[in-house]
Amino acid sequence: MANERIIKELVSPNDLDYFSTINQENSWLNGYNKESYLKLLERPIPSNKKEEWRYTKISEAVNQFFLKAKENKTLSYVFDKNESIDDDIHIYFYNGTYYHQGELPSYITTLKISQDHPYFESKIYDDNKVKDCLINDLNTILLSDMLSIETKNNQKIDKMIRIINLSHKDCALSPRISVKLASNSSLKVFEHHQASESSVLNNNIDIHLEENSTLDYFKLIDKQIHSHDLTSQKINIGENSCVNLFSLDSGADTSRSNIDVELNGDNSAIVINALFTPSEALHSGNQLKINHNAKGTKSSLDFRGILDDSSAGVFFGKVKVHKNSSQTIANMSNQNLLLSDYAKISTKPILEIYNDDVECSHSATSGNLDDDKIFYIKSRGIDEKSAKMFLVQSFAAKIIDKIKHANMRETFNNHLLKSLKIN
């Protein structure tokens, strides 16, 4: 451990006090921030000797985070009157604040850090007891407003809730979202990170489902420019409830998504279908930890990487079936398409099983475009570039076609096409 660096070493001594005294007017938070800040500073920066961080260099992101945090501006977002508003609910995140037009339905609240102390306090302190995670700590350090979505019992919400992280430049920000579904309710969320430049985003998302509920969560990360996009997503699922997660990540200097799922209720289920499509020298890291803590629980993870240029992708999936979780079904797959000789993928699907009555599978593959398929398509008059495009699309279609929501399927497909450049 002698050579391990701690976070403090990345912060200039002159700035040490700054971060413990931000949000002066929120004395409750200030106290909290100072505590967590000091604690954070002593934490080691995960070195790439640690399995979970082996292929994701985090120190540059942390470094930038502290540098940018001092430059944060206080610009607010101005609505464009001509902005097209469909039937969905639109919420925008800009410079630490959540914005929306008109009245929000009662199940959505944008909590102001300066006003909603008790709520914030309980949230943050509760969270912190269970979490010991770098991304989480960074989020708390620069905590700003929070978005909270909470359904009532039996409440089925058809409207899509769109949460849009607008483009930022030279910012360090900490979006925080809390989604809670009461019994027998359903909800659809679409989270979109627009392309930011020279910024660091530390996202924290908490998801909690009581029994018999369903959450569809769509997440789209546009290609980030000289930026770091880090997410810690914690999901707790109760009896007979299910979370369907779809994501498309086009990469960042560091794009890191930590998803921790606790299948706590009997027959609870998590389904994750994800595409990651980094190009240039970008990175996309996916870390999943799924705990099957109850009977009849299901997890299905299908991650597909399409990697171009000198980009790097990471898949680290750990599915753990605990002793009392009989009749668990767990399937984990990571398939990768390398479009360039310089692209890299590191993949590690792990199953840890402590019960005999289970059905589990894991697999990982990586390869290049199939020359026989390219020839077959070309032999029908289609040029090489289009042939390759067809093959990449057909590879991604195995994920995209699973999206039942027609609008979302189209949105994902359009973003996929935009993110691909085939030579």
Partner 1 sequence: MSTKKTLLSIENLDASIGDKNIIKNLNLTIHYGETHAIMGPNGSGKSTLAKALAGHPDCEITKGSIKYKDIDLLTLPVEERSNEGLFLGFQYPIEIPGLSNSVFLKAAINAKNKHQELKDVSATDFIKELKENADMMGINQSFLSRGVNEGYSGGEKKRNEILQMLMLKPTLSVLDETDSGLDIDSMKIVSKGINSMLGANTSSIVITHYERLLKYIKPDVVHVFHNGTIIKSGDHMLARELEEKGYEWLTNE
Binding site for partner 1 (CB under 8 A): 371-373, 375-384, 386, 390-391, 393-398, 401
Nearest approach, Cβ of residue 374 and partner 1 (Å): 9
Q: Which is nearer to partner 1, 28 or 390 (CB)?
A: 390
φ, ψ of residue 19 to 5 degrees: the values are: -75, -20
Q: Which is nearer to partner 1, 118 or 381 (CB)?
A: 381
φ, ψ of residue 341 to 5 degrees: the values are: -70, -15
Q: Which is nearer to partner 1, 53 or 303 (CB)?
A: 303
Nearest approach, Cβ of residue 369 and partner 1 (Å): 11
Nearest approach, Cβ of residue 190 and partner 1 (Å): 24
Nearest approach, Cβ of residue 274 and partner 1 (Å): 16
Nearest approach, Cβ of residue 371 and partner 1 (Å): 7
Nearest approach, Cβ of residue 360 and partner 1 (Å): 24
Q: Please, are residues 183 and 156 in contact by the beta-carbon 8 Å criterion?
A: no
What HEC string does the chain produce? CCCCCEHHHHCCHHHHHHHHCCCCCCHHHHHHHHHHHHHHHCCECCCCCCHHHCCCCCHHHHHHHHHHHHHCCCCCCCCCCCCCCCCCEEEEEECCEEEECCCCCCCEEEECCCCCHHHHHHHHHHHHHHCCCHHHHHHHHCCCCEEEEECCCCCEEEEEEEEEECCCECCEECCEEEEEECCCCEEEEEEEECCCECCEEEEEEEEEECCCCEEEEEEEECCCECCEEEEEEEEEECCCCEEEEEEEECCECEEEEEEEEEECCCCCEEEEEEEECCCCCCEEEEEEEEEECCCCCEEEEEEEEEECCCCEEEEEEEEEECCCCCCEEEEEEEEEEECCCCCEEEEEEEEEECCCCEEEEEEEEEECCCHHHHHHHHCCCCCHHHHHHHHHHHHHHHHHCCCCCHHHHHHHHHHHHHHCCCC
Q: Which is nearer to partner 1, 288 or 377 (CB)?
A: 377
Q: Which is nearer to partner 1, 4 or 401 (CB)?
A: 401
Q: Which is nearer to partner 1, 71 or 370 (CB)?
A: 370
Nearest approach, Cβ of residue 373 and partner 1 (Å): 5
Cα gap 170→200, rounded to integer Å: 8
Nearest approach, Cβ of residue 384 and partner 1 (Å): 7
Q: Which is nearer to partner 1, 197 or 410 (CB)?
A: 410
Nearest approach, Cβ of residue 329 and partner 1 (Å): 23
Tokens 């546009």 -> residue: 222
Q: Which is nearer to partner 1, 58 or 377 (CB)?
A: 377
Q: Which is nearer to partner 1, 290 or 338 (CB)?
A: 338
Q: Which is nearer to partner 1, 83 or 371 (CB)?
A: 371
Nearest approach, Cβ of residue 370 and partner 1 (Å): 8
Q: Quickly count: other Cβ atoms within 10 Å of residue 342's Cβ.
A: 13
